[in-house]
């Protein structure tokens, strides 16, 4: 062995040792976020200032809404107590820097998952909990149930937005005709559809839901289930705590899987006696799964008991029976043609 090869191999060994050292250092201190949560005794959740149905303080100042319920579900997973969570309002301008700065452990505030945010900003994202996107609001008298059935309709879009371009793309693709009406001011939207100047309006679905509540007869209008643009809303966490991210993921999945099983807040106790091995594993009747992953075997049971399954969370805050009145659409279970899907609990 010549000196130079010996030198190189020593160098390589040292490099390897350093690398392993670095890795073990990371795994030893893995979970700074979760450690901090456990030490503190509650989870800090950032939510939007107030978006109707999604997160808003109720009359007594308590936070409610679709995103808020997922925050409570997380508190159940970690502490088995839906109240061990503190919600902090944050504006769209500062929510991501605030997450970075450690103001909260998780951001549940309508963050759209994009590739830039993942690569450049060092955030990790949980599963999509709401598929938002550009929608179409129509007068029910048109008798249209799907956007593809719109033919020759007059459609209002706000000028200078991507909404205007997306709707043009959509009709180019479907090959149907439509008449665009450009509306300058978003306040004019309401008047345009009420006066019949347009048959339909297009905007982000969550905006349309609010415009709809503003109309004199909201029940005469409906937001069609299609989305012309992709706005997948996800929980966001800081990078560097894989265990915390897993807890976020599987807390969301638990609500989804429960709906797939047909388990609701009301009937969850009846399922405890189920003979289905998958349900036994899921609810922690069979404790082997929980032991293997180091969580309370009954964490899914506790979540459903405290906040309900995905469908219940959806319906309670933003579903068709609420003022916001969203159809499930893409946010329906995959078994019913939607995109909401949970990996298996095994």
Of 196, 154, 202, 192, the closest CA to residue 176 belongs to 154
Could you tell me the smallest distance in angstroms from the CB atom of residue 98 to other proteins?
A: 6
Which three-class secondary structure state does DSSP give residue 83? coil
**Cα 176–Cα 178–Cα 179 angle in degrees, nearest 5:** 165
Counting residues that bind other proteins (by CB under 8 A) gives 35
Of 4, 5, 27, 93, the one binding other proteins by CB under 8 A = 93
Whole-Å CA distances, 99 to 47, 49, 109, 218, 242: 11, 15, 11, 37, 16
Q: What angle do CA 114, 332, 89 make, to 5 degrees?
A: 50
Per CB under 8 A, 57 contacts other proteins:
yes
Options 42, 80, 84, 103; binder of other proteins; rule CB under 8 A: 103
In the 8-state DSSP scheme, what is residue 45?
E
- Segment near other proteins (CB under 8 A); pick from 15-23, 91-99, 128-136, 154-162: 91-99
Examine residue 107 and tell whether it contacts other proteins (CB under 8 A). no
The least distance separating other proteins from the CB of residue 160, rounded to whole angstroms, comes to 21
Beta carbon nearer to other proteins, 170 or 244 = 244
Smallest gap from Cβ 185 to other proteins, in A, equals 13
- CA 263/CA 259 separation, integer angstroms: 6
| Contact predicate 193/220, CB 8 Å | no
Would you count residue 290 as binding other proteins (CB under 8 A)? no
Q: How far is the CB of 46 from other proteins (least distance, A)?
A: 8
**Residue 214 binds to other proteins (criterion: CB under 8 A):** yes
Of the candidates 81, 88, 166, 265, which one interacts with other proteins according to CB under 8 A?
Answer: 88
Residue 44 three-state SS: strand
Q: What angle is formed at CA 126 by the lines to CA 96 and CA 316, rounded to 5 degrees? A: 95
Work out which of 53, 297, 311, 319 binds other proteins, going by CB under 8 A.
53
Task: Give the binding site for other proteins (CB under 8 A).
Answer: 32, 36, 39, 49-53, 56-61, 86, 88-91, 93-94, 97-98, 100-103, 210, 213-216, 322-324
């Amino acid at each position: 062995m010549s000196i130079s090869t010996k030198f190189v191999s020593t160098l390589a060994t040292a490099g390897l040792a350093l690398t392993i050292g670095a890795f073990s250092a990371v795994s030893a201190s893995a979970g700074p976020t979760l450690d901090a949560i456990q030490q503190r005794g509650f989870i800090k959740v950032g939510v939007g200032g107030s978006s109707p149905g999604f997160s808003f303080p109720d009359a007594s100042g308590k936070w409610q809404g679709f995103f808020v319920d997922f925050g409570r579900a997380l508190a159940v997973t970690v502490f088995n107590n839906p109240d061990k969570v503190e919600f902090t309002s944050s504006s769209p301008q500062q929510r991501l820097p605030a997450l970075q700065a450690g103001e909260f452990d998780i951001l549940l505030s309508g963050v759209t998952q994009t590739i830039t945010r993942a690569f450049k900003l060092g955030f990790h994202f949980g599963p999509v909990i709401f598929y938002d996107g550009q929608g179409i609001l129509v007068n029910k008298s048109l008798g249209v149930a799907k956007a593809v059935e719109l033919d020759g309709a007059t459609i209002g879009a706000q000028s200078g937005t991507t909404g205007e371009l997306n709707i043009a793309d959509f009709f180019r693709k479907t090959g149907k005709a439509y008449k665009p009406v450009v509306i300058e001011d978003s306040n004019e939207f309401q008047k345009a559809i009420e006066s019949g100047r347009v048959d339909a309006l297009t905007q982000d679905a969550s905006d349309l839901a609010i415009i709809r509540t503003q109309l004199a007869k909201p029940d005469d209008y409906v937001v069609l289930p299609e989305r012309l643009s992709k706005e997948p809303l996800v929980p966001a966490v800081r990078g560097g705590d894989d265990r915390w991210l897993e807890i976020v993921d599987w807390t969301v999945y638990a609500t989804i899987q429960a709906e797939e099983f047909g388990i609701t807040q009301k009937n969850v106790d009846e399922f405890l006696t189920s003979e289905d091995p998958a349900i036994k594993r899921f609810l922690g009747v069979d404790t082997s799964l929980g032991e293997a992953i180091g969580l309370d075997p009954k964490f899914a049971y506790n979540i459903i008991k405290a906040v309900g399954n995905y469908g219940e969370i959806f319906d309670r805050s933003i579903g068709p029976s609420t003022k916001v009145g969203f159809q499930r659409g893409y946010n329906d279970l995959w078994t019913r043609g939607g995109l909401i899907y949970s990996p298996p609990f095994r």
